[in-house]
Amino acid sequence: MNNKGPASKRKKDRPAVAAYTPQSLRRSAMNYIERYECSESGLIDVLKRKIYKSSRLHKIDVDELTATIPELLEEFRNKNWVNDQRFAENLSRSLFRQGSSLQSIRFKLVEKGVSREIAEETIETLAEESSLSKQDIDLAAAISFAQKRRIGPFRLDDGDDSKRDKELGALARRGFSFEIAEKVLSTDRDELEEIIEEFRRL
């Protein structure tokens, strides 16, 4: 009996890892940044992984290929194809809309390879754009997070306070201070919705 189904066929048809040359590595890098926005550090990591995977299957000059990365990076930077400032600003706004605290956003930016200096500048820009204090920005983000997770006043089982400690923990893990978390969980739902709507109009 033949047990090879569609999944097996897809795996068989999957293209093999390329035997990279400097030219094909550049094309692969261009294809990647056309599909994904990334930091300079992130692109370096991607290219090194491509080279490593290729070296396991093909006889390639790993040192030669690795040595081309700085030149590629300089070219992409000069053409503004890779821009850490732009990447940080776009990612920070996306994370904020998802309900991430400024502390969590700062951590994620650094984790993605953005320098601490650019991460701090990005946080300051986010605050300036909103014309609000950092604490108010965190409050709005915490409310947004509570809405998405349906915790606190946004619970489906309204009035059930047995989950309060877990909800405080969820907000803390997101990077919010105890003061912010406590305010979100203790404030009336209508008032929280007014705060977040006012923020979204800014």
Is 189 a domain residue? yes
Spell out the residues 6+ positions from residue 201 whose beta carbon is closer than 8 angstroms to its own: none
95 and 191 housed in the same domain: yes
Instruction: Quote the CA–CA distance of 39 and 172 in Å, as a whole number.
Output: 27
pLDDT over 90 at 18, yes or no: no
pLDDT over 60 at 9, yes or no: no
Q: How many CB atoms lie within 10 A of CB 11?
A: 9
Contact indicator for 119, 110 with CB cutoff of 8 Å: yes
34 and 125 housed in the same domain: no
CA-based nearest residue to 123, from 149, 93, 148, 147: 93
96 and 72 housed in the same domain: no
59 and 92 housed in the same domain: no
Is 164 a domain residue? yes
Q: How far is CA 117 from CA 5, 25, 82, 85, 182, in A?
A: 52, 30, 17, 10, 31
**pLDDT per residue as tens digits for the range 125-143:** 887 777 677 788 888 889 9
123 and 189 housed in the same domain: yes
What is the pLDDT, as a whole number, of residue 116?
A: 92
In the 8-state DSSP scheme, what is residue 68?
H
What is the pLDDT, as a whole number, of residue 25?
A: 94
pLDDT over 60 at 202, yes or no: no
99 and 155 housed in the same domain: yes
Is 185 a domain residue? yes
pLDDT over 80 at 163, yes or no: yes
Instruction: Quote the CA–CA distance of 172 and 177 in Å, as a whole number.
Output: 6
93 and 156 housed in the same domain: yes
Is 174 a domain residue? yes
What is the pLDDT, as a whole number, of residue 138?
A: 86
Is 153 a domain residue? yes
Q: What would the mean pLDDT of 169-177 be, rounded to a whole number?
A: 90
Is 6 a domain residue? no
Handedness of CA 80, 81, 84, 85 (dihedral sign): positive
59 and 105 housed in the same domain: no
136 and 179 housed in the same domain: yes
Mean pLDDT (the chain, rounded)? 86
Query: Per the structure, how many domains does the chain have?
Result: 2
Instruction: Quote the CA–CA distance of 53 and 41 in Å, as a whole number.
Output: 19
195 and 100 housed in the same domain: yes
What is the pLDDT, as a whole number, of residue 10?
A: 47
pLDDT over 60 at 14, yes or no: no
What is the pLDDT, as a whole number, of residue 22?
A: 93
**pLDDT per residue as tens digits for the range 44-89:** 999 999 999 999 899 889 999 999 999 999 999 999 999 999 999 9
Is 156 a domain residue? yes
Instruction: Quote the CA–CA distance of 77 and 89 in Å, as a whole number.
Output: 16
71 and 168 housed in the same domain: no
90 and 22 housed in the same domain: no
pLDDT band at 4 (very low <50, low <70, confident <90, very high): low
What is the pLDDT, as a whole number, of residue 137?
A: 83
User: The domain containing residue 123 runs over which residues?
Assistant: 85-200
In the 8-state DSSP scheme, what is residue 161?
G
**pLDDT per residue as tens digits for the range 80-122:** 999 999 999 999 988 888 888 888 899 999 999 999 999 999 9
pLDDT over 70 at 184, yes or no: yes
